[in-house]
Structure 1
Amino acid sequence: MKYNSLFSSYLNCSNDSEVFEYFQTTLTDSITVWNYFVDWQKVLKKFADMEIHLNTLNYLIGKDNIEEEFAKLLEISPQIVSVIPILIACRTATFQILTDYESGKFSYKSFNFQRQTSLSPSEIEDILEFTRKTGLLELFAKKTIKSIPDYVLGIEVGLDTNARKNRGGNTMEVILETLIRDICEQNNLLYISQATSEKIKTAWNIDVEVDKSSRRFDFAVRNQENLYLIEANFYGGGGSKLKATAGEYKTLFDFLSKQGHKFIWVTDGLGWKTALRPLEETFRYIDYTLNLNMVIRGLLQELITITD
């Protein structure tokens, strides 16, 4: 960390060791907001796209001769095959099932649930086999599932929880963008979110070489003299990725500094408590590493409004 007199006035820290101590003792334990739990807009959109087919399948609930009834339903409404994968919480439309491995060889059978306008008798038999052997038909016949639409809505909610990790990362960007937007409006600065080298060149005619073609900086801010490239992330839990992330930003800092651009890393979360050594190494190496507490206290504003 490049020590700056700002750290004395804003944080009451007299050297970089004290700044790091302040940083790691003010890490935020949570940035969970209400939409972290379920993205209802996405869930309900997916549900609406298949609701008619689910209601058609609901005809099967409680049927004694369920295979016969299902075969008739498939003849009348072959499009319903497209929703069968979601009944077993899968997004894929094709399956390669290992049907035999005890005879000394592996035997497979393929199943295709892409939407179709008609089904042959053999295709219908395959669908019956799949739903029978995965246990779905028994659940429907015994009324273990009383409403297929309600059942699938529950599956969609469950699958959506897999996206929580991404929403956590997005929340950090949303929070930081709100703060950066305010800073820029107050100081007549310009900023770009998800800034690629092409966006920066188009907007400001500034060349930024990137270390990899997929590089998107979370934010780019321009004042009269400098271009600030900002990366943001939040780690609520530990893991091996933290050490790699810290090392990546040391390399990125060197790469951008050689071009004369400024780099600021805004990171937070108690996950860093499990990786303080690599964090401190990067903290001491690159010019500016901030957490949300430091941003809110005004340090980011001071840094990006400095003119050399």
Structure 2
Amino acid sequence: MKYLPFYTVLGVPEEKVFTNFIGNLKTSIKVWDYFVNWDKVNKNVEQVKIELNILNSLIGSTDIKKDFIHLVMKYPEVIKTLPVLLAVRDNKLEVIRDYKKGDLDYFIFDFKFKSSMSQNDAEKYFTFISESGLIDLFLDKKIKNFVDYVYGVEVGLDSNGRKNRGGSLMEEIVEVLVLKSIDNNSNLDFISQATPKKIKYKWSYQVKFDKSARSYDFAVFNKSTEKLFLMETNFYNGGGSKLKSVCGEFKTLHNELSSQGVEMIWITDGKGWLTTQRPLEETFNNNNYVLNLYLLKKGILDEIFNQ
């Protein structure tokens, strides 16, 4: 039964299966949502929009210290915007006073909502905008509107999440293709983020593994054949020594699950594998199912799930 779906779907001889696999690795899995999560950006800006508009009144101030202190005492809620202006998410900051003079004690700033503000506290927050350089945004008229400015900040902060989005994109893409196969067969059932506990609860199927809390990306159960398929996904743009250990991990995982009669499906892609072909080929030849997105697009999951 090993590799039967490859022959069926691709129509290539056994000795060409891995070559075909390598030749169809993708260079990218970027989708439109990868670049900026605009819903998140808009939501974050909306949460501080009123306070930012209040701060706008300070732009171009000729007596910024006096005006800032007066403003935050009257509208203490505006201080929650100050970390955002520095592209910082934290609402509490500890800043070393002056390491150049050997002073390693902290200024401690709390930016959580306050209903009132004392003169001393207001002066403390003025120290924050002064020492952090934020004061220049008010004095030099480098910006015209803090709301527009924070939109830019939020887009920049969101771009830092691209690495995490890249990791989850492969999972999202595979899930769409898996669900297409599920829709084509009423005997198939599906859960995502499948732990052994969830699997046992849903299908009364006991999966034993030395890491009992392990979560598999997807689990598919054929109610007709009572066959369980556990699926893991990943995508690698770059190579490196890590990929060799990844191959070893999925080889061991396959052997452990196979001994229990569970089918392990590893779906991986990316040109990073071009630098680590030998370890990948060893796992490819050991495991029943090492797939890429090209094979999924060809409908190989229908072949596998229906065996």
Decide: shared fold, TM above 0.5. Answer: yes
Alignment check: 8 A CA contact 1:53 1:83 kept: yes
Larger mean CA deviation between 117-126 and 131-140 belongs to 117-126
Question: SS state of the match for residue 218, structure 1?
Answer: strand
Whether 1:212 and 2:211 are equivalent positions in the alignment is: yes
Per-residue CA distance 1:224-256 (angstroms, 9 max, x = gap)? 231000111222233444333222212222232
Tell me the residue number matched to 1:150. 148
Deviation at 1:122, TM superposition (A): 2.1
Query: Which of residues 134, 155, 168 in structure 1 aligns to 2:166?
Result: 168
Deviation at 1:3, TM superposition (A): 4.0
Q: 1:133-144 maps to which residues of 2 (within 5 A)? A: 133-144=131-142
Alignment check: 8 A CA contact 1:195 1:217 kept: yes
Percent identity (aligned): 45
Tell me the residue number matched to 1:64. 62
The CA distance in 1 between the partners of 2:270 and 2:198, in whole Å, is 30
Question: SS state of the match for residue 265, structure 1?
Answer: strand
Deviation at 1:213, TM superposition (A): 5.1
**For residues 61 and 295 of structure 1, do their structure 2 counterparts lie closer, same or farther at Cα, with a shift above 3 Å needed?**
same
Tell me the residue number matched to 1:107. 105
Across the aligned residues of Structure 1 and Structure 2, the Cα RMSD in angstroms comes to 1.9
Tell me the residue number matched to 2:245. 244
Q: What is the number of equivalent residue pairs in this alignment?
A: 304
Whether 1:35 and 2:36 are equivalent positions in the alignment is: no
Deviation at 1:210, TM superposition (A): 4.0
Alignment check: 8 A CA contact 2:93 2:109 kept: yes
The CA distance in 1 between the partners of 2:180 and 2:105, in whole Å, is 62
Question: SS state of the match for residue 266, structure 1?
Answer: strand
Tell me the residue number matched to 2:73. 75
| Unaligned segments of structure 1, at least 5 residues | none
Query: Which of residues 22, 27, 32 in structure 2 aligns to 1:24?
Result: 22
Deviation at 1:276, TM superposition (A): 2.1
**For residues 140 and 242 of structure 1, do their structure 2 counterparts lie closer, same or farther at Cα, with a shift above 3 Å needed?**
farther
The CA distance in 2 between the partners of 1:18 and 1:249, in whole Å, is 22
TM-score (norm 2): 0.92
The CA distance in 1 between the partners of 2:174 and 2:105, in whole Å, is 53
Larger mean CA deviation between 249-258 and 72-81 belongs to 249-258
The CA distance in 2 between the partners of 1:38 and 1:285, in whole Å, is 40
The CA distance in 1 between the partners of 2:276 and 2:57, in whole Å, is 55
**For residues 286 and 4 of structure 1, do their structure 2 counterparts lie closer, same or farther at Cα, with a shift above 3 Å needed?**
closer
The CA distance in 1 between the partners of 2:116 and 2:206, in whole Å, is 56
> Residue type of the partner of 2:55?
L
The CA distance in 1 between the partners of 2:278 and 2:240, in whole Å, is 13
Alignment check: 8 A CA contact 1:211 1:252 kept: no
| Unaligned segments of structure 2, at least 5 residues | none
The CA distance in 2 between the partners of 1:104 and 1:157, in whole Å, is 37
TM-score (norm 1): 0.92
Larger mean CA deviation between 242-251 and 176-185 belongs to 242-251
Whether 1:9 and 2:15 are equivalent positions in the alignment is: no
Alignment check: 8 A CA contact 2:221 2:229 kept: yes
Alignment check: 8 A CA contact 1:140 1:146 kept: no
> Residue type of the partner of 1:47?
V
Alignment check: 8 A CA contact 1:89 1:155 kept: yes
Whether 1:262 and 2:287 are equivalent positions in the alignment is: no
Alignment check: 8 A CA contact 2:196 2:213 kept: no
Deviation at 1:105, TM superposition (A): 5.7
Alignment check: 8 A CA contact 2:97 2:103 kept: no
The CA distance in 2 between the partners of 1:213 and 1:300, in whole Å, is 27
**For residues 76 and 105 of structure 1, do their structure 2 counterparts lie closer, same or farther at Cα, with a shift above 3 Å needed?**
closer
